Each structure stands twice: as structure tokens, then as C-alpha cells.
Amino acid sequence: MATETPPPASPGAPLPSTEEFIEVQQSADFGELRRSYRSFAFPLTVGFIAWYLLYVLLSNYAGGFMGTKVAGNVNVALVLGLAQFLTTFLIAWWYARHAAAELDPKAAAIKSRMEDGA
């Protein structure tokens, strides 16, 4: 599968050179963008994986606890399983807010400087 070069920002505008991309990659602004992303994404990823593994381990080794009735035929396993879906959606929503408020403005500023300098 061949990769295509993305179109320039405006028709007829030249693309930034490899050196310009490397310069931006090594800039403090780009480093700050990466730190902002990593400081948000990595802890949430580790936390969610730990939460998921806890659910799996409880399902495998704590059957009595997971089978505890909460209300009617609803047990702890079902509640925790549904909480997995809830936390997935909450993390996605939280990331979207974080990206819109923190990451997108920084990325747009970098992109604008790259396009102006090309």
C-alpha cells in the first residue's frame, strides 16, 4: 500500500522540508505538546488496564464475591462489568475535553508556524 503525501495547506503552497520537520520536532513547543499528551494519556491508560485486570482477576479467583447479589438477579460481576463500559466512555469524554482545551491549541500553533515558514 503506497502512502500519499498530504496536500499542502493552501493550493500551490510548498510543503515544509525534512529539516523543518526535524527542527519542529526538537522544539520546546513540540516537547511541551508531547509532555501534555503523555502526562494525561499514560496514567489513564495504566489506571484503566489495572482496573480491567482487577475485574478479570476477581472474575477468575473471587467467584463468590462476584456472584454476590446486589438487587434481584443483578450481581457484583454484572455491576463491575457495566462499570467497565462506563469508565471507557468517561475516559473518552475526558480525553476529548483535554485534547480540545490543551492539545489542540498547541498543535494548531505548531502547525500554523510550520505552514507560515514553508
Contacts of 98 (CB under 8 A, 6+ apart): 40
Query: pLDDT value at position 21?
Result: 85
51-106: pLDDT as tens digits: 999 999 999 999 999 999 999 999 999 999 999 999 999 999 999 999 999 999 99
Q: Could you state, in order of their start, the residue ranges of all structural domains in the chain?
A: 28-117
Query: pLDDT value at position 70?
Result: 94
The Cα 75–Cα 16 span in angstroms is 58
Q: What percent of the chain has pLDDT over 70?
A: 87
The Cα 75–Cα 59 span in angstroms is 12
